[in-house]
Amino acid sequence: FHERLILISTMDIVVHSLSISPTTTTTTTTSNHQEEEEECECEVLLLDHLNINHEKGQQDVLKAFYFDFLGCAIDPRKYENYIAGKKTLWANIGMHQFHLPEGKPSAQVFSGLITLLYSDFSKLMDRYNAYLDGDEPFIPLKETEFSIGMVDDMMLVTDPWGNQFCILQSDDPIEDRAAQVGSQPVLEGHDI
């Protein structure tokens, strides 16, 4: 599967509509025992949420990444779980959500690239500098796969479990909400 996920919202953090474009090759055997390959393409242009299991017992890491670093809002229907530090959390980002249940026991890594649009990188860079300075909200991210890199005008972020995010800046993220579909940059190690 080759997948691309783009989220959109109308907040400071803009998450485009989720776009997953898997391409699969299927092999079928005909009545005369010949194998035929068929390529199937499917494009989903809008989804409500993305479900990604996090590592069981690591909700502090989950909170540090999705809420403290990305700036997602805590869905009030899961606030009790947020306070208790266990079970599923929902991270709201505009009209869309990340559903973040505990894995059994390991984390799930999305096989694709999740693209987020932000109106400004400065808040993310401030948070990343706070992480580098060892500020308390970001301590759980230490000794995980969390990392950030800049390539041209893209911020490439790896979450604590290896999920890949491409964060783009937009002067008008509401108007740009579908502009990147089909024009995503190809990043080394990612077939899009």
The reported pLDDT for the residue numbered 60 is 95
Tokens coding 127: 């948070």
Q: pTM for this one?
A: 0.70
The reported pLDDT for the residue numbered 27 is 42
Count the helix, strand and coil residues of the chain and give each as a percent rounded to the nearest 5: 20, 30, 50
| Spans in the chain with pLDDT lower than 70 | 1-47, 94-95, 171-192
The reported pLDDT for the residue numbered 185 is 44
The reported pLDDT for the residue numbered 13 is 37
